[in-house]
């Protein structure tokens, strides 16, 4: 058995993004740039990081209150006091519900 850990970590992340649409009938394409600042362990300044990325996707309305969407994206991650620079990719599929 391994040794138990008796410390707690405190961290946070703050992000902002904006989705821009282009519509044609019930099919909407979008681009979504984003910027995320994260500090996974506030007791360690080397844990601070910045992620900048964007996603491209399509969304299709099936009804006025339901749609499906998919997107692919990439982000550039600066971590470990900006000593580590990583390129990350992502893909997602989603079912979206809308209400008023």
Per-residue confidence band for 77, with pLDDT thresholds at 50, 70 and 90: very high
How do residues 35-66 score in pLDDT, each as one tens digit?
999 888 888 777 788 999 999 999 998 998 99
How do residues 19-35 score in pLDDT, each as one tens digit?
999 998 879 999 999 99
* Helix-strand-coil split of the chain, %, nearest 5: 5, 65, 30
Give the pLDDT of residue 21.
Answer: 92
In the chain, domain spans: 12-97
| Bridge partners, 51 (sequence order) | 36, 77
């Amino acid at each position: 058995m391994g040794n138990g850990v008796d410390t707690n970590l405190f961290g946070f992340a703050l992000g902002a993004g904006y989705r821009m649409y282009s519509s044609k009938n019930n099919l909407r394409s979008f681009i979504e740039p984003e910027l995320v600042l994260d500090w996974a362990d506030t007791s360690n300044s080397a844990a601070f990081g910045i992620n900048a990325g964007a996603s491209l996707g399509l969304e299709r309305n099936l009804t006025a209150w339901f749609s499906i969407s998919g997107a692919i994206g990439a982000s550039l991650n600066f971590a470990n006091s900006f000593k580590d620079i990583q390129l990350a990719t992502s893909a997602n599929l989603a079912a979206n519900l809308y209400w008023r």
